[in-house]
């Protein structure tokens, strides 16, 4: 619940693959019941961060706590508290929607009766009950993504990680998913999502953190970030903070000045 101890606490997180340092001292705190968007250019380390938070990757250094548990010291407790939707779907195409969800329910040891009830409730909640008995291979991309999120929620997690949940979705499916995520947070679930869509972060997230070159280079509400960087849109903020190279930044800061006249889109 908002106001209590943070749902996610990352301090000095470092992670390298071989001699490539991907996370170079990441600090991030996420309040319970809020939506935080983790932004960053391709290869910035968003998926790596989610991997560490969800105990799939071991941090090299730093402290990472999720739902009050240390990811290294108490990975099982973390796993029991979280739901993860990865960039690669966990949905099995050959199974029906119901079968996919029931598989999740049994993985969560829900028991037959409780499992069925949970599955039915999720099918209803996500509006996929009609298609639920057809193989997922026949479903649209938007419906599959809903099933993916429903599967993430089977164990009633208090903290949910969504890695690029709307990439490749059409605008209508994207909005439906936004509504679901908003409703989840309103019900007290903490959400950390990664996205490449700045508009998505702007609309959906209470807080935005920008990851670049292994560090969080900006962190605040969308309104704060726009005000701090004197930018009309999060796109402008993002482009200014994540310069592709130092050579480009001299010229880019001049163009960034002119970008301050960009009208803020009313919403």
Residues that bind ligand ADP (CB under 6 A): 17, 22, 40, 42-48
Helix (H, G, I), strand (E, B) or coil at 35: strand
**Which of Mg ion, ligand ADP, none does residue 17 bind (CB under 5 to 8 Å by kind)?**
ligand ADP
Q: Which does 165 bind (CB under 5 to 8 A by kind): ligand ADP, Mg ion, none?
A: none
Shortest distance, CB of residue 242 to ligand ADP, whole angstroms? 11
Residues 27-46 close enough to bind Mg ion by CB under 5 A: 46
Nearer to ligand ADP, 39 or 143 (CB): 39
Residue with tokens 């990352």, as numbered in its chain: 10
CB of 78 to ligand ADP, least distance (A): 19
Nearer to ligand ADP, 24 or 224 (CB): 24
Contact between 241 and 218 under an 8 Å Cβ cutoff? The reply is yes
Q: Which of 36, 47, 100, 233 binds Mg ion (CB under 5 A)?
A: 47
Contact status: 195 vs Mg ion (CB under 5 A): no
Q: Dihedral sign, CA of 6, 184, 179, 176?
A: positive
Tokens of 226: 């726009």
Residues from 204 through 263 that contact Mg ion (CB under 5 A): none
Q: How far is the CB of 45 from Mg ion (least distance, A)?
A: 8
Residues with Cβ within 8 Å of residue 125, at least 6 apart in sequence: 150, 180
Cα angle, residue 58 at apex, residues 57 and 63 outer, rounded to 5°: 120
User: Which pair of structure tokens corresponds to residue 188?
Assistant: 């007290």
Residue 153 binds: one of Mg ion, ligand ADP, none (C-beta under 5 to 8 A by kind): none
CB of 223 to ligand ADP, least distance (A): 24
Name the minimum Å distance from CB 85 to Mg ion. 12
Nearer to ligand ADP, 88 or 250 (CB): 88
C-beta nearest to Mg ion: residue:
47
Q: Is 85 a binder of Mg ion (CB under 5 A)?
A: no
What would the two tokens of residue 241 be? 């903070």
Residue 44 binding: pick among Mg ion, ligand ADP, none (C-beta 5-8 Å cut-off by kind): ligand ADP
Residues 51, 57 contacting (CB under 8 angstroms): yes
Written as one string, the DSSP assignment of 55-115 is: TSS--SEEEEEETTEETTT-HHHHHHHEEEE-SS----TTSBHHHHHHHHHHHTT--HHHH
Pairing of strands 35-39, 207-212: parallel
Q: Which residues bind Mg ion (CB under 5 A)?
A: 46-47
């Amino acid at each position: 619940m908002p106001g209590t101890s943070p749902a996610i606490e990352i301090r000095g997180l470092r992670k390298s693959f071989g001699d490539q340092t991907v996370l170079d001292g990441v600090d991030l705190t996420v309040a319970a019941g809020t939506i935080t968007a983790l932004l960053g250019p391709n290869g910035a380390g968003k998926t790596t961060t989610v991997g560490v938070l969800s105990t799939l990757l071991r941090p090299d250094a730093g402290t990472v706590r999720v739902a009050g548990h240390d990811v290294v010291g108490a990975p099982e407790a973390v796993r029991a508290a979280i739901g993860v939707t990865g960039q690669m779907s966990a949905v099995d195409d050959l199974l029906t929607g119901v079968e996919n969800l029931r598989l999740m329910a049994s993985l969560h040891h829900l028991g037959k009766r409780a499992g069925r009830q949970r599955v039915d409730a999720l099918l209803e909640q996500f509006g996929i009950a009609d298609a639920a008995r057809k193989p997922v291979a026949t479903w649209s991309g938007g419906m599959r993504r809903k099933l993916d999120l429903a599967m993430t929620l089977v164990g009633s997690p208090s903290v949910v990680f969504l890695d690029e949940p709307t990439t490749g979705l059409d605008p209508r499916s994207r909005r439906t998913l936004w509504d679901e995520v908003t409703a989840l947070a309103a019900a007290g679930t903490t959400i950390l999502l990664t996205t490449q869509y700045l508009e998505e972060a702007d609309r959906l997230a209470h807080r935005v953190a920008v990851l670049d070159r292994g560090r969080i280079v900006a962190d605040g509400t969308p309104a704060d970030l726009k005000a701090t960087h004197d930018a009309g849109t999060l796109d402008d903020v993002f482009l200014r903070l994540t310069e592709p190279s130092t050579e480009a930044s001299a010229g880019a800061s001049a163009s960034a000045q002119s970008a301050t006249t960009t009208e803020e889109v009313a919403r």
